[in-house]
């Protein structure tokens, strides 16, 4: 399902992908932030509440203060919002020590993943096994996951790292919730093959936990279809969005005439041909209002 805009000077038919936009976790976090900001309560977010500069600027204009972890110990008695990415236990300890009121907006999917990693670590650590996380090093969600096991977990960012693993001991693998399901599947197959090559039975020493968000995973096939249905694709997302990078690659694979922008100011008239269809879509961190704004700007070309 798409929302169509009337064609402009170039005769373009512009459609906005109805499946794109904030995931449920981000919607919940922003709704809670807005609710407190309307009460004129000073509100602090530990890191970007969403990886989209346009949306951040809107919230900051309402009074949201974005701080980094080093600044957490410098505020006392304030209200802190925990974003959907989640945080390690150490963050909560520091917040309580600073007498901060906490609005915990950790995504329920991420929260469940945190609990599962902690539980699996308690099981596999006595067996000298290791926890691996397929995700982006330094990403807020990944930092929160590692924190559940006191930092005793390893990150896999690229498939070529599987050759460096120790296949003499058990491995439990999890995935950052916004990772590409196909890449995770291929990675797990490679690890299983390596276990076999080392004379180990994967059934007894390799444990795969399917932790990619279903809502995120389902967007890829929809986006592939949407990209194929349009002559030109404009993908809207922030530079820091991991999910955006993955979904934009989905667009470019399905349609080479795909372009990535942060806002309407990044558009180039050279990307468009007269009397063609344009599809506007985005990441789970891209607000609907921003995609609509970009669509209207295209309409005016």
Give the C-alpha separation, 282 to 244, whole Å: 7
Query: Residue 3 pLDDT > 60, yes or no?
Result: no
Give the C-alpha separation, 258 to 164, whole Å: 35
Give the C-alpha separation, 41 to 83, whole Å: 17
pLDDT at position 9 is: 66
Give the C-alpha separation, 250 to 219, whole Å: 10
Query: Residue 2 pLDDT > 80, yes or no?
Result: no
Fold of 109-212: Cobalt-precorrin-4 Transmethylase; domain 1 (3.40.1010)
For the segment 139-148, what is each residue's pLDDT rounded down to a tens digit?
Answer: 999 999 999 9
Fold of 24-107: Rossmann fold (3.40.50)
Q: How do the domains of the chain map onto residue ranges?
A: 2-22+217-299, 24-107, 109-212
More confident residue, 1 or 249: 249
141 is catalytic: yes
Question: Exposure string (b/e) for 27-37, b if CB count within 10 Å is 16 or more?
Answer: bbbbebbeebb
Angle at 193 between CA 188 and CA 198, to 5 degrees: 125
Q: If you average pLDDT over residues 146-158, what whole number do you get?
A: 95
Q: Identify the residue whose tokens are 């309307």.
A: 38
For the segment 70-111, what is each residue's pLDDT rounded down to a tens digit?
Answer: 898 889 999 999 999 999 999 999 999 999 999 999 999 999
CATH number of 2-22+217-299: 3.40.1010.20
- Cα 198 from chain centroid (whole Å): 35
Query: Residue 61 pLDDT > 90, yes or no?
Result: yes
Query: Residue 1 pLDDT > 80, yes or no?
Result: no
- Of 54, 55, 87, 141, the active-site residue reads 141
pLDDT at position 158 is: 87
For the segment 166-184, what is each residue's pLDDT rounded down to a tens digit?
Answer: 999 999 999 999 999 999 9
Equal CATH topology for 2-22+217-299 and 24-107: no
What percent helix, strand, coil does the chain show, rounded to 5? 45, 20, 35
Give the C-alpha separation, 86 to 114, whole Å: 9
Determine how β-strand 232-236 pairs with β-strand 258-261.
parallel
Q: If you average pLDDT over residues 144-160, what whole number do you get?
A: 94
For the segment 185-216, what is each residue's pLDDT rounded down to a tens digit?
Answer: 999 999 999 999 999 999 999 999 999 999 88
pLDDT at position 7 is: 53
């Amino acid at each position: 399902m798409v929302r169509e805009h009337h064609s402009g000077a170039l005769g373009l038919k512009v459609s906005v992908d109805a499946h794109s936009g904030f995931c449920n976790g981000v919607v919940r976090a922003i709704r809670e932030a807005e609710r407190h900001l309307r009460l004129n309560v000073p509100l602090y977010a530990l890191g970007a509440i969403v990886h989209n500069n346009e949306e951040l600027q809107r919230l900051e204009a309402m009074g949201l203060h974005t701080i980094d972890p080093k600044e957490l110990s410098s505020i006392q008695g304030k209200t802190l919002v925990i974003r959907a990415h989640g945080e390690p236990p150490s963050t909560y300890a520091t917040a309580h020590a600073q007498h901060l009121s906490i609005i915990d907006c950790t995504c329920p999917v991420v929260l469940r993943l945190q609990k599962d990693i902690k539980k699996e670590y308690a099981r596999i650590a006595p067996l000298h096994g290791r926890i691996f996380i397929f995700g982006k090093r330094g990403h807020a969600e990944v930092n929160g996951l590692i924190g559940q096991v006191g930092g005793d977990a390893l990150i896999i960012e690229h498939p070529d790292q599987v050759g460096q693993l120790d296949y003499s001991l058990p491995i439990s693998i999890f995935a950052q919730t916004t990772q590409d399901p196909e890449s995770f599947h291929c990675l797990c197959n490679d690890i299983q093959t390596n276990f076999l090559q080392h004379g180990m039975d994967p059934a007894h020493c390799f444990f795969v936990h399917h932790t990619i968000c279903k809502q995120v995973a389902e967007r890829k096939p929809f986006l592939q279809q949407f990209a194929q249905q349009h002559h030109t694709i404009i993908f809207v997302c922030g530079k820091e969005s991991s999910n955006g990078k993955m979904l934009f690659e989905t667009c470019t694979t399905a349609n080479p005439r795909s372009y990535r922008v942060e806002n309407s100011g990044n558009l180039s008239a050279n990307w468009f041909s007269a009397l063609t269809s344009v599809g506007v879509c985005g990441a789970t961190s891209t607000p609907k209002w921003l995609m609509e704004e970009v669509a209207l700007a295209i309409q005016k070309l």
